C-alpha cells in the first residue's frame, strides 16, 4: 500500500481555517507545511502533494486565497526531510515544455531524486486572462496540448546528459510545440521526476494511463473507485505499459477520534464552519456553467436547463448532476457537497476510530479499488498527526504498509528505480529525438 498526503496550511475541509485550532497569524504559514511533511515522513509516506491553480480565488470564504509556487515550496520542504518525495503541480496549458523540463530536472537533482510533477490541463477563462488569453482552450484541445507537452518533456529528460553520455538534441515538430533543443541540465542522479496525474474525464483518464506513474483518483463509493481502477489499468495496458507500474492512489478524507462519536463531532464542527450559502451556490454555478443563484436554494436543480456540452470540470459536473438526481438533493445540498474541500464528492469519507478507518482502507484496498491512498486531511496538523500515530501502526501490523523506507527516492518508493530513461518507450516516437534525415545516428551535444 502506498500513502500520500495533500499539503495545505489548515486542511482540505473548507471549514478548517475557521476552526479554533487553526493558526491564522502567519500567511503563508510555512511552518504548517513543514510540520505536515515531517509528520508524513515519520509515518513513512511515499510522498506529499502540493496542489495548485494559476488563478486567484476571490471567494469571501476561501481558505486558499494565497499560495506558494509548488516547485519553490518543494525545494524548501526537501531541505527539511530526507526520504519522503514531494509532488509539485504544474500547468500544461500555461507553461512551455523546455522550461518545465529544465526547472524540474534541476529541482529533482537538488532534491536528490525526490521530486514528482503533477501535470494539470488548466481550465477557466479567469486563468486564461492571467496569461494574456481571452478564453481557455477548448476541452479536447487542452488535453491534446497536455499529451504533447508531457511527451516533449519526457523526450528532453530521456535525452539529457548522463555521466556516460552527452546530451541528445531532440527535434519535435507537433501540433502545439516545435522544440529543437538539447537540455542543458543533466539527468538527475536518482532518475527522472515521477509523473503524476489526476484525470477523471475520459480524456483525463487516457492521459493518466499513458504517462502517469501515480494517479490521484476520486471515488465516493466502492463501486465507482473499482470502475476507475479497472479502467485505468486497461488503458495503461493498451499503451504497452505494465498495469502494475501505474499506482492509483484513492483520495480519502479521514475524520479520526478516540471514539466514533468524537470523530463525528469533529466532522460536524468543521461542516458547521463551511462557507455561506451564496458562496457555495456560486461555486456550483461555475462547475455546472449555469447561474443557480436565481433559483430557490431549497428546490431541485434545473436539470433541463443545464448545458449538455461543457468547457471545463466535466467529470465533477457529471458527478454532482448524477448525485442530485439519484439522491434527490436540493440546490443548496448539492452545492454544499461540491464545496467542502472535495470531502463529500470526489473522495470518500472515513469517519471513526483508528481501527474503523484502517478497516475501511483495508477493505477497499483488497477489493481492488486502489494501490494506496492520498490523504485529503480535513484539518491540519491534527489529521496527519492522528493518522500517523494511530492508523499507520495498524496498517503495519496487518502487513499492509512498510515499516521502513527501502530507498530515498520517489522511484524507489514506487518500485521503479530500475527504469532506464533512455530505453525504448512505446509511448514516444523516438525518431523525434534524432536529427532530420539521420535515423541511425544520434546527434550528441557536448
Q: Rounded mean pLDDT of the chain?
A: 85
pLDDT at residue 446, as a whole number: 42
175-213 pLDDT, tens per residue?
Answer: 999 999 999 999 887 778 999 998 888 899 999 999 999
Domain ranges of the chain: 2-254+371-430, 275-339
Q: What span, in angstroms and rounded, lies between the C-alpha atoms of 307 and 289?
A: 7
pLDDT value of residue 73: 96
> Grid coordinates 470502475 are at which residue?
227
Residues forming a β-bridge with 266? none
Confidence of residue 99 (pLDDT cuts 50, 70, 90): very high
The structure's pTM equals 0.86
Q: Are strands 247-256 and 214-217 parallel, antiparallel or unpaired?
A: parallel
Cell output for 199? 484525470
- 311-to-138, 201, 271 alpha-carbon distances in Å: 6, 12, 30
Q: Provide the pLDDT for residue 423.
A: 62
Direct distance between the N- and C-terminal alpha carbons of the chain, in angstroms, rounded to an integer: 43
State how beta strands 115-120 and 170-173 pair: unpaired
Q: Considering only 156-160, 311-315, 442-446, which range has the smallest mean pLDDT? A: 442-446
Distance CA 195, CA 259 (A): 39
Tell me, what's the pLDDT at 258?
Answer: 97
- 359: pLDDT strictly greater than 50: yes
H, E, C per residue of the chain = CEEEEECCCCCCCCCHHHCCCCCCCCCCCHHHHHHHHHHHHHCCCCEEEECCCCCCCCCCCCCCCCCCCHHHHHHHHHCCCCCCEEEEEEECCCCCHHHHHHHHHHHHHHCCCCEEEEEECCCCHHHHHHCCCCCCCCHHHHHHHHHHHHHHHHHHHHHCCCCCCCEECEEEECCCCEEEECCCCCCCCCCCCEEEECCCCHHHHHHHHHHCCEEEECCCCHHHHHHHHHHHHHHHHHCCCCHHHCEEEEEEEEEECCCHHHHHHHHHHHHCCCCCHHHHHHHHHHHHCCCCCCCCCCCCCCHHHCCCCCCCCHHHHHHHHHHHHHHCCCHHHHHHHHHCCCCCCCCEEEEECHHHHHHHHHHHHHCCCCCEEEECCCCCCHHHHHHHHHHHHHHHHCCCCCCCCCCCCHHHHCCCCCCCCCCCCCCCCHHHHCCCCCCCCCCEEC
Cis ω for the linkage preceding 99 (within 30 of 0): no
Q: Which of 205, 118, 113, 164 has the alpha carbon at shortest distance from 413?
A: 113
Query: What values do phi and psi take at 305, rounded to 5?
Result: -100, -10
In terms of Cα–Cα distance, which of 390, 371, 429 is closest to 46? 371
The tens digit of pLDDT for each residue in 140-162 reads: 889 999 999 999 999 999 999 88
| pLDDT score for 150 | 96
Contacts of 282 (CB under 8 A, 6+ apart): 59, 293
* pLDDT (mean) for 289-311: 82
Neighbours of 75 (CB within 10 A): 17
Lowest-confidence range among 69-73, 119-123, 228-232? 119-123
Lookup result for grid cell 496550511: 9
Return the higher-pLDDT residue of 207 and 433.
207
CATH number of the 2-254+371-430 domain: 3.20.20.30
Nearest-CA neighbor of 192 among 410, 434, 426?
410
Q: Is 434's pLDDT higher than 80?
A: no
pLDDT in tens, 275-289: 666 667 887 887 787
The answer on pLDDT for 267 being more than 80 is yes
Place of cell 448545458: 307
| Alpha carbon distances (Å) from 420 to 5, 187, 192 | 28, 11, 9
Question: pLDDT tens digits, residue range 23-34?
Answer: 777 777 889 999
Residues sharing a CB contact under 8 Å with residue 93, sequence separation 6 or more, in sequence order: 120, 121, 122, 123, 127, 136, 137, 142, 145, 146
- Cell 449538455, residue located: 308
Amino acid at each position: 500500500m502506498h500513502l500520500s498526503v495533500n499539503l495545505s496550511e489548515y486542511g482540505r475541509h473548507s471549514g478548517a481555517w475557521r476552526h479554533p485550532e487553526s493558526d491564522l497569524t502567519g500567511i503563508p504559514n510555512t511552518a504548517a507545511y513543514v510540520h505536515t511533511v515531517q509528520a508524513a515522513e515519520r509515518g513513512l509516506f511515499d510522498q506529499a502533494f502540493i496542489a495548485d491553480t494559476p488563478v486567484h480565488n476571490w471567494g469571501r470564504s476561501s481558505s486558499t486565497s494565497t499560495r506558494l509556487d509548488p516547485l519553490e515550496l518543494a525545494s524548501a520542504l526537501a531541505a527539511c526531510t530526507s526520504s519522503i518525495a514531494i509532488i509539485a503541480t504544474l500547468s500544461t496549458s500555461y507553461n512551455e515544455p523546455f522550461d518545465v523540463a529544465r526547472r524540474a530536472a534541476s529541482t529533482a537533482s537538488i532534491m536528490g531524486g525526490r521530486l514528482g510533477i503533477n501535470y494539470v490541463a488548466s481550465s477557466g477563462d479567469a486563468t486564461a486572462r492571467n496569461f494574456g488569453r481571452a478564453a481557455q482552450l477548448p476541452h479536447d484541445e487542452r488535453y491534446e496540448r497536455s499529451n504533447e507537452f508531457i511527451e516533449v518533456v519526457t523526450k528532453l529528460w530521456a535525452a539529457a546528459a548522463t555521466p556516460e553520455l552527452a546530451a541528445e538534441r531532440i527535434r519535435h515538430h507537433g501540433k502545439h510545440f516545435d522544440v529543437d533543443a538539447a537540455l542543458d541540465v543533466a539527468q538527475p542522479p536518482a532518475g527522472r521526476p515521477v509523473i503524476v496525474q489526476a484525470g477523471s474525464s475520459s480524456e483525463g483518464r487516457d492521459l493518466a494511463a499513458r504517462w502517469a506513474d501515480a494517479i490521484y483518483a476520486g471515488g465516493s463509493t466502492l463501486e465507482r473507485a473499482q470502475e476507475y481502477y479497472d479502467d485505468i489499468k486497461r488503458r495503461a495496458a493498451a499503451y504497452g505499459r505494465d498495469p502494475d507500474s501505474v499506482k492509483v492512489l484513492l483520495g480519502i478524507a479521514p475524520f479520526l477520534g478516540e471514539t466514533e462519536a468524537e470523530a463525528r463531532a469533529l466532522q460536524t464542527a468543521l461542516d458547521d464552519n463551511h462557507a455561506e450559502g451564496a458562496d457555495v451556490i456560486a461555486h456550483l454555478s461555475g462547475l455546472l456553467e449555469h447561474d443557480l443563484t436565481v433559483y430557490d436554494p431549497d428546490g431541485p436543480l434545473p436539470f433541463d436547463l443545464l448545458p449538455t456540452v461543457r468547457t471545463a470540470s466535466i467529470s465533477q459536473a457529471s458527478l454532482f448532476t448524477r448525485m442530485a438526481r439519484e439522491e434527490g438533493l436540493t440546490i443548496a445540498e448539492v452545492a454544499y457537497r461540491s464545496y467542502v474541500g472535495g470531502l463529500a464528492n470526489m473522495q470518500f469519507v472515513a469517519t471513526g476510530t483508528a481501527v474503523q478507518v484502517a478497516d475501511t482502507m483495508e477493505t477497499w484496498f483488497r477489493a481492488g479499488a486502489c494501490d494506496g491512498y492520498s490523504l485529503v486531511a480535513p484539518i491540519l496538523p491534527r489529521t496527519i498527526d492522528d493518522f500517523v500515530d494511530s492508523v499507520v501502526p495498524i496498517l503495519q501490523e496487518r502487513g499492509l504498509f512498510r515499516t521502513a523506507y527501502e530507498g530515498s527516492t520517489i522511484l524507489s518508493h514506487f518500485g521503479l528505480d530500475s527504469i532506464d530513461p533512455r530505453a525504448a518507450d512505446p509511448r514516444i516516437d523516438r525518431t523525434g529525438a534524432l536529427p532530420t534525415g539521420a535515423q541511425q545516428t544520434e546527434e550528441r551535444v557536448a
